A and B are shown apart, each in its own frame.
Chain A
Amino acid sequence: MAIVFQKPHALTDAPFHYCPGCTHGICHRLVAEVLDELGVEGNAIGVAPVGCAVMAYDYFNCDMQEAAHGRAPAVATGIKRVHPDKVVFTYQGDGDLAAIGTAETVHSAARGENITIIFINNTIYGMTGGQMAPTTLPGQVTQTSPYGRDIKTQGNPIRVCEMLSTLDGPSYIARVALDSVPNIKKAKASIKKAFQNQIEGKGFSLVEVLSTCPTNWGLSPIEAIKRLQKDMLPYYPLGVYKDIDNENK
């Protein structure tokens, strides 16, 4: 019988701990499919964050390191400088990457560190139960912005792709979303490109993946997808923000 669908080899058999409707599962699968398709699982070393994806080291079949909160790009830098021939990636959330780890993110990008970063933006701290993130939208209600994020006192969200694309270091910066089949296909293409760039030695690549957090948004999975489309897409436009392949043409 022909196999039409199966678990990617780059994922272990460990069941995901993610909440129902959370898009981490989709994103894990996309990364694993890309590792399979590029044939680099045996050559890959991943770095897990602190946040909902903290146990990503149990899910990816490749060698993995668990980093301190926000430090994944520094850990990945250390690994890559020891094994320049290996494929090194981090998988981080918005609090990890854009709050506590801002310096590590910006400087690994500025160095053009030849690594791949998968950045999950769901506008909230999931693991700790739904607090305001650096990407929380203006007016968004969270546990620590109970009256809605007031930009006068709680500041503005950070658009990571726009910020990093001003740097000379990165080779590829793109924002994708996991809200529909066509966008999930585009997301996979971007993730693949971000890994291919590293394999080809082009330098730092980051894919921001707009994701949902039904549990902490207080929405059903379907309502959460609608919120992503209605509120997040206008504030965080999809697209390629930097691609040295196009610049060089």
Chain B
Amino acid sequence: MSEKVLMKGNEAIGEAAIRSGCRHFFGYPITPQTELSAYMAKKMPKIGGVFLQAESEVAAINMVYGAAGAGARAMTSSSSPGISLKSEGISYIAGADLPCVIVDIVRGGPGLGGIQPAQSDYFQVTKGGGHGDYHLIVFAPNSVQEIVSLTADAFNKSEEYRVPAMILGDGTLGQMMEPVDFDSVPEPKKADKSWATTGTGLKREHNIINSLYLSPEALEKTIIERQKRYDIIKEKEQRYEAHDIEDADIVVTAYGTTSRVVESAVKTLRSEGLKVGVIRPITLWPFPDKIFAEAAKTAKAFLSVEMSMGQMVEDVKIAVNGKAPVYFFGRTGGIIPTPQEIIEEVRKIAGGLK
């Protein structure tokens, strides 16, 4: 029998990371992710791991670069303004093909913004953040239990593809407590890390962790090679949860905390006889465009609900590709949409369809 414990989302990330073999965590305090750093500070010294509070988010992500380049399963975490600071290092990590896991517990922005939950960093985490042609594999859990399995997946997928992975949460997900077990964390996979800087032992050519290619031909070659891995990821790693889309007139989509609100709104709407289905992206990059394309064959309209002014909705539009109108509803700045607001929005769209 699995034992369930009551845990905050932020702490569950920490425990799942440790169980996934992460022994190197480099942090810097920022609300609302600080419980994760605190958890690692408490746990790591007891299990022979490293918790280091860096002098800045910039230093922390570069410590991850060094540790990942040295072959370790390394992690850092932050929230929106801190992710902006880490973006330089994330670009270098992507450019050097290093696996690692970055946690972003999103808060309202721009600037110092606020400390309440938001989803206004979707563009930042899926379209770049840092400079250059690169992507992160972005996982967006919607429960503390799912945080656990996705944290384990993030480490494994990151190493499989040598692409940095991100766990994208929000203040609500990070702070709320839910019962959770860790049965879904598999034994850490042993990845081939013959590229890592571990000392040559005078037995092999030196390994170089690097993102600099002064020859345009050489640089283009590395980018195209990486793009091929991205293409495989787009083909094989799209994840989502969907229900009631076969007969749906309207498909509502949301990720993370917002998807939980959408679920209760859709329950009410279906009880009223409205044919409403749900697609919940679990990976934001790769965006699960195939299920949207499939749903667009029969659905008459889509609604993207976000805690932003409309960011994921752009990917929904690309995926739906003009087959149906795509609407948007969002609250932002730390405000979570209510079920009633979503219900009214769907009713409005349904009214227009008749």
Contacts and interface: CB of A to CB of B under 8 A. Distances in A.
Interface of A: 12, 41-45, 47, 54-55, 57-58, 60-68, 71, 74-83, 86, 103-104, 106-107
B285 interface: no
A78 B88 CA distance: 16
Contacts of B211: 66
B56 A65 contact: no
Contact of B26 (A45, A58, A78, A107): A78
29 contacts: A41-B202, A44-B199, A45-B70, A57-B208, A60-B206, A61-B206, A63-B197, A63-B199, A63-B200, A65-B66, A65-B197, A65-B208, A66-B211, A71-B59, A74-B58, A74-B60, A75-B62, A77-B63, A78-B26, A80-B66, A81-B50, A81-B67, A82-B72, A83-B70, A83-B198, A103-B55, A103-B56, A104-B58, A107-B59
Contacts of A68: 62, 65, 88-89, 92
Contacts of B105: none
Given A63-B208, A64-B210, 7 more contacts: A55-B212, A76-B66, A78-B66, A82-B66, A82-B74, A104-B62, A107-B55
Q: Which 4 A-B pairs have the closest CB atoms?
A: A78-B66, A63-B197, A74-B62, A78-B67
A60 B197 CA distance: 13
A58 B215 CA distance: 15
A86 B198 contact: yes
B65 A82 contact: no
Contacts of A55: 212
B55 A86 contact: no
Contacts of B24: 78, 81-82
Contact of A47 (B55, B66, B202): B66
Nearest to B201: A42
B198 A78 contact: no
Contact of B66 (A41, A58, A62, A77): A77
Contacts of B64: 78
B74 A78 contact: yes
A79 B209 CA distance: 12
B227 interface: no
Contact of B209 (A65, A83, A104): A65
A42 B26 contact: no
A127 B239 CA distance: 45
Contacts of A65: 65-66, 69, 197, 208-210
Contacts of A103: 55-56, 58-59
Contacts of A78: 24, 26, 62-70, 74
Contacts of B62: 67-68, 71, 74-75, 78, 104
Nearest to B196: A63
Interface in B50-87: 50, 52, 54-56, 58-60, 62-72, 74
Contact of A74 (B66, B96, B200, B208): B66
Contacts of B55: 103-104, 106-107
Interface of B: 24, 26, 50, 52, 54-56, 58-60, 62-72, 74, 88-89, 92, 96, 197-203, 206-212
Among B60, B206, B208, the one with the most A-chain Cβ atoms within 10 Å of its Cβ is B206
A187 B54 CA distance: 31
Contact of B71 (A57, A74, A75, A82): A82
A43 B70 contact: no
Given A78-B70, A79-B69, A82-B70, A41 B208 contact: no
B294 to A, nearest CB: 42
Contacts of A60: 206
Nearest to B71: A82
A71 B58 contact: yes
A106 to B, nearest CB: 8
Given A47-B66, A60-B206, A76-B66, A71 B89 contact: yes
Contacts of B58: 71, 74, 103-104
Contacts of B50: 81-82
B87 to A, nearest CB: 11
B37 to A, nearest CB: 16
A87 B265 CA distance: 59
Contacts of A64: 197, 206-210
Contacts of A47: 66
B52 A77 contact: yes
Contacts of A82: 24, 50, 66-67, 70-72, 74
A55 B177 CA distance: 49
Contacts of B67: 78-79, 81-82
Given A45-B70, A45-B199, A79-B70, A74 B209 contact: no
A12 B206 CA distance: 10
A54 B207 CA distance: 16
Contacts of B209: 64-66
B66 A79 contact: yes
A79 B213 CA distance: 23
B132 to A, nearest CB: 12
Given A65-B209, A68-B88, A74 B54 contact: yes
Contacts of B203: 42
Given A68-B88, A71-B62, A81-B24, A63 B210 contact: no
